[in-house]
Structure 1
Amino acid sequence: MTTSGRPSTPFGRTLCAMVTPFTDSGALDLEGARRLADHLVAEGCDGLVLSGTTGESPTTTDAEKAELVRAVRDAVGDRASIVAGVGTADTRHTVELARAAEKSGADGVLVVTPYYSRPPQDALAQHFREVADATGLPVMLYDIPGRTGTRIEPETMIRLAEHPGIVAVKDCSYDFLGVQKVLARTELAYYAGCDEHILALYAVGAAGCVSTVANVVPRRIADILEAFEAGDTARAARLQRQVTPLIEAVMDAGLPGTVTAKSLLTTLGRPAGPVRAPLRPAGPETADGLRTVYEELIAAA
């Protein structure tokens, strides 16, 4: 099916891949999560993705994931959608987490490609269908082969788009041509999962973004898409270029984005806390460099 015009935005347009705040002792900080979620929504995010890569999902328990959804729902109400990360390497476990997310108040689920086992494409498609059949929540597929070892191939995406419960994709494939092939042949709502692709993907028909950098500059990320939507493409391009040094500092500094985002949030006095092992905190030099790049971006307003 060929799309026409601006695609639907089932989970909003500017989504933040929210960090999971922890206390100094490493426990889940639900009050910090409420405050951070409220801040992000007030600053332009109309969707929050919880327990994804940036949310340290591999090191949070099933109970913590459910508690986080409930706490953030309590904080944001109906002002923003909540997409809960439920993907694991085990189909049965993923189904359990999807059902728990539905009970906890999520609006949708983010399902990453099963990692390590590297299933072939037919098995991969069946995995996603089983998860989509397990609840009444819409599904956002998460295509990030650099972490999982397996790509959701464009032809597989096109077949999966026939399932009524599979409505969106968070794209970290770095395959711009493949994405456009799927956009041309389906109604899937694509969300740029790589911050450097936010404007480029939106310009060819994506629904929006799931941004890690939005943890620290939510309004700047929202402004890029709002400017393009308003027809001011020159301003949108300028805003994307302005935020590029911060994207590079957060996402391409040799550390996971979770580490750098939490470091900068802590410097700014926002809820974040430490990362959980095996991740390690950013060192003082990295933290100082992040703050410098952030201040330069703010000064460029």
Structure 2
Amino acid sequence: MSNAAPLSGVIPPVCTPLTPEREVDTASLTRLVDHLLEGGVHGLFVLGSSSEAAFLPDGHRRTVLDTVVGHVAGQVPVLAGVIDMTAPRVADHARAAAEAGADALVATAPFYARTHPAEIATHFRTVAAVADVPVYAYDLPVAVHSKLTANVLLELAADGVLAGLKDSSGDDAGLREVILGRRDRGLESFAVLTGSELTVDSALWMGADGVVPGLGNVDPHGYVRLYDAAARGDWTAAREEQERLFRLFGLVHVGGPHMGRSSSALGAFKAALFLCGVIAHPTTALPQVPLDGAEIDQVKSFLSEAALI
């Protein structure tokens, strides 16, 4: 097995700024990338859940890829989500992302059609075969209704199909099983990244390599401080930074009961970036319900309490 170091650090899932007409706001997107790079992040993940990839037409997806890959110009790795229902559709996105210059691909299990673990394995093998860049599995059972098991992930890692995992399952025991299994099987190069931004200190303590935090769009410096504290073994500092970020994360709930959780969270992230002067508009993709003025004011209060404005 390869002894190469796994991908590690803070890798935010980059929001997709939109104009009021819901075109990709490339000027705001490049400012957001600069904001993240100035925050010290170690990579960028575009076209994931926080990027509103599920809402973006293919042309918008390509605009995001071209803009971010071109602007980053190799400073940090750019991971591209290639999320779609089944392997043939994902394979098309994978080819496009590789052609655009993405450094790696991120795919969920197939969805809509009910699948078996054997079919999930075939899905990832199919995606890995079409593009000569690393593939990361995205475990997101709340959206795709399938849990990626440790056995499937580690077997695919051992076969060179998967380079790592973004775990957004919320299953801490399952995450530990993957981390232990990686060690026991000698798969040191298989990266384990948590997407559970409220328990990053715990995941790093267990042996995870990094974090993919949606809130990292708003406060990349905070997540980098958390990661750096953990890397030097200062778990008290890591916990204190995590607790500060936990309180800031309360902004995702400002939308209340009249909109979906996604609308509230993504609207809050974009409102925060708008209030901080990073993006020009807090527009979210249809059919998400937008935050109103009072809710944006609540986001401002969270930012003020966190000393971000």
> TM class by shorter-chain length?
over 0.9
The alpha-carbon deviation at position 244 of structure 1 amounts to: 0.6
Q: Is residue 285 of structure 1 aligned with residue 294 of structure 2?
A: yes
Residue 268 of structure 2 aligns with which residue? 260
Give the stretch that moved more between structures: 155-164 or 22-31.
Answer: 155-164
Instruction: Give, in angstroms, the shift of residue 218 of structure 1.
Output: 0.5
- 1:8 pairs, out of 5, 8, 16, with 5
The separation in 2 between residues aligned to 1:247 and 1:68, in whole angstroms, is 25
**1:18-63 CA distances to partner (integer Å, 9 max, x unpaired)?**
1111112111112221111111111111211111111111121222
Aligned residues: 296
CA contact (8 A) 2:254 2:268 kept: no
**Cross-structure match for 2:234:** 232
Q: TM-score, normalised by structure 1?
A: 0.92
Aligned with residue 93 of structure 2, among 90, 94, 97: 97
Q: Given that residues 213 and 250 in structure 1 are in contact (C-alpha distance below 8 angstroms), is that contact kept between their aligned partners in structure 2? A: no
Offset at residue 130 of structure 1 (A):
0.7
Deviation readout 1:275-298 (Å, 9 max, x if unpaired): 111112112232222221121112
**Which residue identity lines up with residue 283 of structure 2 in the other structure?**
P
1: CA distance between counterparts of 2:283 and 2:192? 31
Q: Indicate if the aligned counterparts of 2:250 and 2:302 stay in contact, CA closer than 8 A.
A: no
- Give the equivalent residue in structure 1 for 2:55: 59
**SS of aligned partner of 2:113:** coil
Distance 1:219 1:59 in 2: 28
Backbone CA RMSD of aligned residues: 2.1
Q: Which runs of 5+ in 1 are unaligned?
A: none
Q: Which moved more, 1:242-251 or 1:194-203?
A: 242-251
Amino acid at match of 2:250: E
Give distance in 2, aligned partners of 1:116 and 1:284: 36
Cα 1:149–1:253 change in 2 (3 A) is farther
- Worse-superposed segment, 278-287 or 90-99: 278-287
Identity of aligned residues (%): 25
1:252 positional shift: 8.7
2:28 match = 32
Is this contact kept in 1: 2:201–2:242, CA < 8 A? yes
Please give the secondary structure, in 2, of the residue aligned with 1:49.
strand
What amino acid does structure 2 have at the position aligned with 1:266? F
Matching of residue 174 in structure 1 with residue 183 in structure 2: no
Matched, 1:248 2:250: yes
> Structure 1 CA distance, aligned partners of 2:288 and 2:117?
31
Structure 1 residue 199 corresponds to structure 2 residue 213 = no
- Give the stretch that moved more between structures: 110-119 or 234-243: 110-119
1:222 corresponds to:
224
Contact 2:124 2:161 in 1 (8 A): no
Structure 1 CA distance for aligned equivalents of residues 210 and 5 of structure 2? 10
After the TM superposition, which residues 49-198 of structure 1 pair with which residues of structure 2 at under 5 Å, given as runs? Answer: 49-186=45-182, 187=187, 188-198=190-200
1:158-204 deviations in Å (ceiling 9; x for gaps): 22222314111111111111111111122321111111121111111
Q: What SS does structure 1 have at the residue aligned with 2:236? A: helix
* TM-score, normalised with respect to structure 2: 0.90
The 4+ residue runs of structure 1 with deviation greater than 6 A are none
Structure 2 distance, partners of 1:248, 1:193, is: 17
Asked if the contact 1:137–1:165 (Cα under 8 Å) also holds between the matched residues in 2, the reply is no
* Higher mean C-alpha displacement, 270-279 vs 192-201: 270-279
